[in-house]
Amino acid sequence: MQSESDIILPRVVRALEEVSRWREAQAGAAQARLDEVDAERQRLEADIRDLQGQVETLAELEEQIQAEVAVLPIEETHRTRAAVEAGIDAEASVLIERDEVLAQAIKAREDRVAQLLAQPDMEQLVEEFEQFQELEPTLANLPVGYRKAMLAHHQTVRAQLQPVMDAAQAPLAQADLPTEAVTIIASLNPAQGRPEALAVLLPVSFETYQGWADRTEDLGALVAYRLMGAVGATLQAVGASDASVQFADYRGLLAIQVWLGDQEVQGDLKEVFGAQIDRMRDEALELHTVCLELYTAWLDPRVVAASDDDDDTDLGDEDSHVEPDAGALTGSAMLEG
Amino acid sequence: MAGSDRFEKLTLAQVARWLDLHPLEIARMLGTADGGLPADLRFTEQDVDRLRDMSGVETWWSAELPVHDPIRGRALARSLAAYIVGRAEGGDWSSRADNLFRGLEPADQWVVRRAVNSLIVEGALVSISRASGLHVRLGNDGVEILQALADGTNVPESMEALWS
């Protein structure tokens, strides 16, 4: 009896079986590759999900950074304003310190005059000098001889008093101090193009304007006069002599506001104002006396405009202009009550 | 007067008191003048006269009012109108606004300031900004309105509240 292995299959059957084995082998191999592909796809899909998550995170980060960039100008304005306010407060203190120096220089000049007046016979000379001043308007009524005699005597008295007059009118002595500098904050609104308003903020108390009649004329007052003169000269130079000027209280400091909306400004107002400040720095004797220099810083009007919760210090627009004649800005001004 | 004061020049604040102006107003005027502010901010009496001319400061009021009226406020308003009409004969008239009440007692100033505001509202006067300060000029029909007020034939209703 033949065993199964000894069975001799017909050639065709063997060939077909060979094909069948080949197919099974191929199918197995293909399945293995498909499994690998599937595994790889799943891994890649996981990677994609991971990367997508990273992309979304980056998008959120980008949005956050863009939001920060968007508020940068506002933050810059706040920080600039804080820096300006701290700086100008400090410079107001410098002015107060140097005012004491000015007061000492004035006192020294007065002492010198008093010293001269204390010399013998001086009292009599001063008395005669004052009597002559009272009589001077009536001199023309006197006979020529009397008039000549009185004038001659007056010349003698005047000559003897000349050292006193010279001392009283002498420039103040310059202090031996390091030079300090203070800043005048200026702002044009709008910052570019045809200006509608000029604001100048001084490191000087608002009382210099409001309470001048009850105050001693101090260094702050002199600086305010100089700046007002510079503003007047600037307005004249740019053809806006009659522009309405107002004074505002900016955190207790004095601000000069000029409404230019109804003026035809000619030329570069900033340049002209800068030249006026340079001139003032060169010429103002009181500044030389106390070794003080003034500089101008031009700032964006938003910096000196009020924040939402601080609307009493706005220098930035027309509505902020203050009494006494705020109506001048929009129409016919009314008089202060 | 202290010894040294006799021979010293005047400060700008002293000049302002003399002229009854604000020192910053004078400073602005000086800025527009030839030479600008002096290096030494002190002034002679001659400077004061020059500044008075530059500023257009005038004192109109004296003890005697030009118009008599039993009601003080109305007398002031009518006198103000009479003063302006008298100065505005050429038609082209303007003045510093503060000339209109300079020299009056505070209580009378209060009335006249409001009378001026009323005349601005009525269109008889128009305020104008100038380098030397706030000015007023005649408005359309200003002379007619002011003349009627001075005569007492037509007192603007808006003024009546000033003395009623």
3-state secondary structure chain A: CCCHHHCCCCHHHHHHHHHHHHHHHHHHHHHHHHHHHHHHHHHHHHHHHHHHHHHHHHHHHHHHHHHHHHCHHHHHHHHHHHHHHHHHHHHHHHHHHHHHHHHHHHHHHHHHHHHHHCCCCHHHHHHHHHHHHHHHHHHHHCCHHHHHHHHHHHHHHHHHHHHHHHHHHCCCCCCCCCCEEEEEEEEEECCCCCCCEEEEEEEEECHHHHCHHHCCCCHHHHHHHHHHHHHHHHHHHCCCCCCEEEEEEECCEEEEEEECCCCCCCCCHHHHHHHHHHHHHHHCHHHHHCCEEEEEEECCHHHHCCCCCCHHHCCCCHHHCCCCCHHHHCCCCCCCC
A209 touches chain B (CB under 8 A): yes
Contacts of A114 in chain B (CB under 8 A): 3-4
Nearest CA among A236, A297, A298, A233 for reference residue A265: A236
How far does the CA of residue B29 sit from the closest CA of chain A (Å)?
7
Chain B CB contacts of A126 below 8 Å: 3, 6
pLDDT by residue (tens digit) across A296-330?
999 988 887 754 444 444 554 433 333 333 333 23
Residue A335 lies in a domain: no
Q: What is the pLDDT of residue A163?
A: 86
The whole-angstrom separation of Cα A231 and Cα A229 is 5
A19 plus A143 within the same structural domain: no
Q: Which of A:243-272 have CB within 8 Å of B?
A: 243-245, 247
Parts of chain A with a pLDDT under 70: 1-5, 306-337
d(Cα A61, Cα A53) in Å, to the nearest integer?
Answer: 12
Cα B164 to its chain centre, rounded Å, is 25
Which A residues 79-118 touch B at CB under 8 Å?
109-110, 113-114, 117
**B30 DSSP β-pair partners:** none
Which parts of B5-132 are beta strand (E)? Answer: 10-11, 42-43, 94-96, 125-130
Of B4, B12, B41, the CB nearest to A114: B4
B9 touches chain A (CB under 8 A): yes
Are both A140 and A253 inside the same structural domain? no
Neighboring chain B residues of A225 at a CB cutoff of 8 Å = 12, 23-24, 26-27, 37, 41
* Contact (Cβ atoms closer than 8 angstroms) between residue B30 and residue B108: no
How would you class B156 by CB atoms within 10 Å of its CB: exposed for 0-12, middle for 13-18, buried for 19 or more?
Answer: middle
Residues of the domain holding A222: 74-103+181-329
| Shared-domain flag, residues A149 and A230 | no
Together in a domain, A57 and A137: no
Decide if A281 contacts A167 (C-beta within 8 A): no
Closest residue by Cα to residue A85 from A179, A185, A180, A181: A185
Distance CA A331, CA B25 (A): 21
Q: Strand, helix or coil at B146?
A: helix
Is B120 in CB contact (< 8 Å) with chain A?
yes
- Closest CB from B41, B110, B127 relative to A222: B41
Are A215 and A327 within 8 A, CB to CB? no
Q: Does A224 touch chain B (CB under 8 A)?
A: yes
Across the interface, whether the CB atoms of A229 and B36 are under 8 A apart is answered yes
Q: Rounded CA gap, B81 and B147, in Å?
A: 7
Contacts of B3 in chain A (CB under 8 A): 113-114, 117, 126
CB contact under 8 A, B37 and A280: yes
Which residues neighbour B29 within 8 Å (Cβ) at sequence distance 6 or greater?
A232, B51, B54, B55, B131, B132
Q: How far is the alpha carbon of B110 from chain A, nearest alpha carbon, in Å?
A: 6
- Is some CB atom of chain A closer than 8 A to the CB atom of B68? no
Tokens, residue A198: 């000029």
Assess whether A212 and A252 both reside in one domain. Answer: yes
Alpha-carbon distance A295 to A218, whole Å? 20
- The answer to whether residues A216 and A83 belong to one domain is yes
Is B136 or A154 the better-scoring residue by pLDDT? B136
pLDDT, residue A316, reads 44
* CA B97 – CA A332 distance, rounded (Å): 12
ipTM score of complex: 0.83
**Residue from A122, A162, A169, A332 to probe the interface with B (highest B Cβ count within 10 Å):** A332
Which tokens hold the place of A195?
Answer: 């200006």
Q: Residues of A numbered 20-79 whose beta carbons fall under 8 angstroms of chain B's beta carbons: which are they?
A: none
Query: DSSP class of residue B154?
Result: -
User: Does A112 fall in a domain?
Assistant: no
Query: Which two three-digit tokens encode residue B151?
Result: 């005569």
**Domains identified in chain A, total number:** 3
Report yes or no on A254 lying in a domain. Answer: yes
Asked if A229 and B127 come within 8 Å (Cβ–Cβ), the reply is no
A126 with A205, same domain: the answer is: no
Q: Are residues A29 and A81 in the same domain?
A: no
The answer as to CATH 3.40.50.1110 being correct for domain B72-160 is: no
CB-based contact A247 B24, cutoff 8 Å: yes
Q: Residue A236 is encoded by which pair of tokens?
A: 């004249």
Alpha-carbon span A238 to A276, nearest angstrom: 12
- pTM listed for this prediction: 0.78
**Chain-chain contact of B134 with A222 (C-beta, under 8 angstroms):** no
CB A242 within 8 A of CB A306: no
Interchain contact, B39 vs A283, CB within 8 Å: yes
- Measured at the CA of B33, the angle between CA B31 and CA B36, to 5 degrees, comes to 45
A251 burial type by CB count under 10 A (0-12 exposed, 13-18 middle, 19+ buried)? middle
Nearest CA to CA, how far is B36 from chain A (Å)? 7
Structure token pair of residue A260: 């230019």
Q: Which residues of B touch A279 (CB under 8 A)?
A: 36
Question: In this structure, what are the phi and psi dihedrals at residue A200, rounded to the nearest 5 degrees?
Answer: -125, 120
Contact assignment for A117 to B4 by CB distance below 8 Å: yes
Q: Residue A307: what pLDDT?
A: 47
Say whether both A188 and A324 belong to one domain. yes
> Percentage of residues in chain A with pLDDT exceeding 90?
61
Q: Does residue A334 sit within a domain?
A: no
Return the pLDDT at A302: 83
| CA dist., res. B76 & res. B114, Å (int) | 11
Average pLDDT over chain B reads 89
Q: What is the pLDDT of residue B5?
A: 66
Give the Cα separation of A25 and A32 in Å (integer). Answer: 11
Largest CA distance in chain B: 58
Residue B158 confidence class, pLDDT cut points 50, 70, 90: confident
State the average pLDDT over residues B73-95: 90
Domain boundaries, chain B: 3-55, 72-160
pLDDT in tens, B97-112: 999 999 899 999 999 9
pLDDT tens readout for residues B11-64? 999 999 999 899 999 999 999 988 889 999 999 989 999 999 999 999 999 878
Q: Looking at the domain assignment, is residue A175 inside a domain?
A: no
Q: Which pLDDT value is given to residue A16?
A: 93
Q: How far apart are CA B142 and CA B156, in angstroms?
A: 12
